[in-house]
């Protein structure tokens, strides 16, 4: 993380009376005087009644932090879909609107150009970029990139390691490494633990609910706030709704999306963010925690992702939580990809309409969005 390490909070002043130097000198002189002070008169305890105890200090207010997450993001792909400016302008349309104590993106690809056959000779799509592109994300203000998705190993296991190295060398952290908790220290002194999942065995597999529960619980032991981020579900405009039960796509078992997300919450996750369907999905308020099932396509540079209709719309979610995990406020920022796949602010707020429609998937527990982007959390 490229913010300075947390500094010790100043000690709160307590109700102590401190004498001045002159006062101490006068007191010393009086003590050395030959003249005895007159004996105190017995007032029957009335004087004692007038004394008031010093006030105890006010308790510290609970600390709060804001977590911001965006969806699927990749500035281009090597060798045929490369930006002419090496990605320098990729985030220009949204950079000033990205804020929070921890800002997270799903990195939909690898920071490596190593060749790798991930489909055993079959036809596959690969998203790869040189390692220098990690700096594009760091310069835009991102703190953590998630690697756990179906393109994170597009350059193979060695490329996955190169990706992790590139992210860290750019001053960010990486989550989604199998069995690992990514820890981020915030300026408030709170520690955020992030865990990433995807339906593949080279990550912590979201289909293995026992493994999911164990990793989230481990994060809870190490961090104040726990964030789960996961590549979930089937893809495309026919899969905007979150179904009950297991999802399958192109012959892949992608797991029970609802069961996974609720398992995360049940074992200590304070927020759950999904991505992968390339469209927005609804949000659920479950046991006092927010589950955002898909954030959609944030940006796919050089037309990496389709931009038609719901495929081009996304939302940046910023959630403020107290140190005990209680949600203080939530805000959605509507974005959409332009003709080149670059993220831009959407003045029409199309994402809000999507999210409000899709909230019906969860009945009374569905989370809607007000006209100003504020999240309406149900009292369920």
Question: pLDDT tens digit string along 104-148?
Answer: 999 999 999 999 998 888 889 999 999 999 999 999 999 999 999
Average pLDDT over residues 2-13: 32
Query: Do 138 and 2 form a contact (C-beta atoms < 8 A)?
Result: yes
CA distances in angstroms from 26 to 36, 166, 209, 289, listed in the order given: 15, 67, 74, 62
The rounded distance, in Å, linking the Cα atoms of 206 and 201 is 9
pTM for the structure as a whole? 0.85
- Looking at the chain, how many residues does it have? 380
Query: Do 363 and 347 form a contact (C-beta atoms < 8 A)?
Result: no
The rounded distance, in Å, linking the Cα atoms of 283 and 363 is 11
pLDDT at residue 26 above 60?
no
Structural domains of the chain, ranges and CATH numbers in brackets: 64-376 (3.60.21.10)
Average pLDDT over residues 340-350: 98
Question: pLDDT tens digit string along 182-209?
Answer: 999 999 999 999 999 999 999 999 999 9
pLDDT at residue 14 above 80?
no
Backbone Cα Rg of the chain? 27
The pLDDT of residue 298? 98
């Amino acid at each position: 993380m490229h913010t300075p390490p947390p500094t010790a909070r100043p000690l709160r002043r307590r109700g102590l009376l401190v004498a001045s130097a002159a006062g101490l000198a006068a007191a010393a002189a009086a003590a050395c005087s030959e003249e005895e002070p007159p004996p105190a008169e017995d007032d029957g305890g009335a004087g004692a009644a007038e004394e008031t105890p010093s006030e105890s200090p006010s308790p510290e207010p609970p600390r709060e932090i804001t977590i911001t997450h965006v969806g699927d993001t990749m500035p281009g792909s090597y060798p045929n879909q490369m930006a002419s400016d090496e990605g320098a302008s990729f985030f220009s349309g949204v950079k000033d609107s990205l804020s929070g104590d921890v800002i997270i993106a799903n990195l939909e690809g690898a920071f490596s150009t190593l060749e790798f056959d991930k489909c055993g000779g079959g036809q596959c799509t690969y998203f790869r970029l040189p390692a220098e592109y990690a700096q594009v994300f760091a310069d835009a203000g991102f703190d953590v990139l998630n690697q756990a998705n179906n393109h994170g190993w597009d350059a193979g296991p060695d490329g996955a390691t190169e990706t992790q190295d590139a992210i860290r060398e750019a001053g960010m952290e990486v989550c989604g490494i199998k069995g690992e908790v990514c820890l981020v220290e915030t300026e408030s002194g709170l520690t955020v633990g992030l865990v990433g999942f995807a339906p593949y065995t080279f990550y912590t597999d979201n289909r293995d609910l026992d493994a999911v529960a164990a990793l989230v619980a481990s994060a809870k032991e190490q961090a104040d706030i726990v964030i789960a981020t996961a590549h979930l579900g089937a893809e495309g405009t026919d899969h905007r709704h979150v179904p009950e039960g297991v999802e399958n796509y192109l012959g892949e078992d992608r797991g029970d999306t609802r069961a996974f997300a609720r398992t995360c919450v049940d074992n200590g996750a304070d927020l759950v963010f999904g991505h992968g369907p390339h469209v927005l999905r609804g949000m659920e308020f479950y046991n006092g925690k927010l589950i955002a099932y898909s954030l959609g396509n944030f940006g796919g540079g050089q037309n990496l992702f389709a931009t038609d209709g719901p495929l081009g719309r996304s939302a940046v979610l910023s959630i403020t939580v107290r140190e005990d995990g209680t949600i203080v406020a939530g805000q959605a920022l509507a974005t959409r990809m332009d003709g080149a796949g670059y993220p831009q602010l959407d003045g029409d707020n199309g994402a809000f309409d999507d999210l409000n429609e899709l909230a019906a998937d969860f009945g009374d527990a569905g989370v809607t969005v007000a006209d100003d982007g504020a999240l309406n959390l149900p009292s369920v």
